[in-house]
Amino acid sequence: MNGYQRTIFFTKSPLVGKYRYKDEFQIFPANLESMPKSQFQRHFPNILEYRIKEFDQVSFSSEKIESASLKELFSFTATTLTLQDRILDFLTAVSNNRFFRYKDSEGNWGMPMTKEEIDEEMNTWSSKWCMRMFHFPELPNQLRIESLTDNNIPTIVRENHKTFYTYNPSLDADTQQHIRLPDTIDELFDSYFSLSTIERNIMDGVISFLNSAIETFTMHKTLSLVAVFTSLETLMNLEFKDVSNERCEKCGQLKYSIAMKFREFLMKYIGDSQNNKKKFNSLYSLRSKIVHTGTQLRTEKLFADVPDEVQTEEYLKRAEVLQLGKLAFANWLLTKPYGVNKRRVIVKI
């Protein structure tokens, strides 16, 4: 199953440039012939082209399906979707924007926006059952490719690694702010693809939790925090996998507590300072308060009746935790000695 595939994916902010990783994949904005567009769109369609190699194939050997052709179709579908998700989920985890495809095929009631202006006629429209799908008659032919295509689209702007994660990240809040990438993006992919199978499986868990944190950031605020903390603890467990859980002979407490591992992991990959030490202790206390007592953020409800300063404070805290989770993951990847990274020293905060 060797070859190249092209598909549609979406972002919530405009993608105006391209990013290509070797001969493995590339992304760029979709500008296909006869492609539907809307001034109201919140999901911007883009193109993902990617390479399929023989060892990427996902086998489908269910005995419930006797048809060989049907098994082959299921295997092809599983292979392509697995590769798409691997690329898009990783981009989401190490960037400040969501890169996603539609996964829910259940559908929903919707109001088709058939006009480009809002007027009283809309009051006469009725909802229709909609499939969650981006399609138009000319699309299938335009998705056929033999290799990664050449185009003259400018490359996506890249920002300094530290600045990208710590200075005013958009987090999809501004639909007009163009998507950027960290200037370490090539090294991040190098490191990820050079992991052992066991480590990559663990990293896929970290990436999944970070993606969940980003997806739930607005509507499920407390759960989003839990997802970030879980991603950090997954990384932390890998980092300290060889540390024995010895107990103090006098008090019986673990000599190397989870809280201590949490703090030392972040101090190693985020920054070792007295202020950071206090911050990381505070974050672990917040994590424990949520996980062990079920405490929710005061702004959890959509129309929470809390002062503006509380809303601002909790938003900044959630954004800080999310960005620290991304930065820790990215810095962990950049410090792994797999012989492919050009950077060994990372700038911490």
pLDDT, tens only, 302-316: 888 899 999 999 999
* Strands across the sheet containing 3-11: 19-21, 25-29, 44-52, 3-11, 99-100
Domain residue extents for the chain = 3-107+124-155, 187-334
The pLDDT tens digits of the residues spanning 23-81 come to: 999 999 999 999 999 989 999 999 999 999 988 888 766 666 767 777 788 888 899 99
Greatest mean pLDDT among 116-125, 141-150, 245-254 lies in: 141-150
The pLDDT tens digits of the residues spanning 153-174 come to: 999 999 999 999 999 998 998 8
Phi, psi values for residue 140, rounded to 5°? -55, -45
* Assigned token pair, 52: 């399929």
pLDDT recorded at residue 163:
95
pLDDT recorded at residue 204:
97
pLDDT recorded at residue 104:
86
Q: Which amino acid is at 200?
A: R
The pLDDT tens digits of the residues spanning 247-270 come to: 655 665 655 688 889 999 999 999
**pLDDT(14) > 60:** yes
What does pTM read for this prediction?
Answer: 0.91
pLDDT recorded at residue 344:
47
**pLDDT(339) > 60:** no
Give the closest residue to 52 by CA, choosing from 167, 147, 187, 182.
147
pLDDT recorded at residue 64:
63
**pLDDT(326) > 80:** yes
User: What is the per-residue DSSP string for 317-343?
Assistant: HHHHHHHHHHHHHHHHHHT--SS--S-
Q: Does residue 325 contact residue 249 with C-beta atoms inside 8 Å? A: no
Average model confidence (pLDDT) for the chain?
90
**pLDDT(218) > 90:** yes
State how far the Cα of 239 lies from the Cα of 199, in Å rounded to an integer. Answer: 11
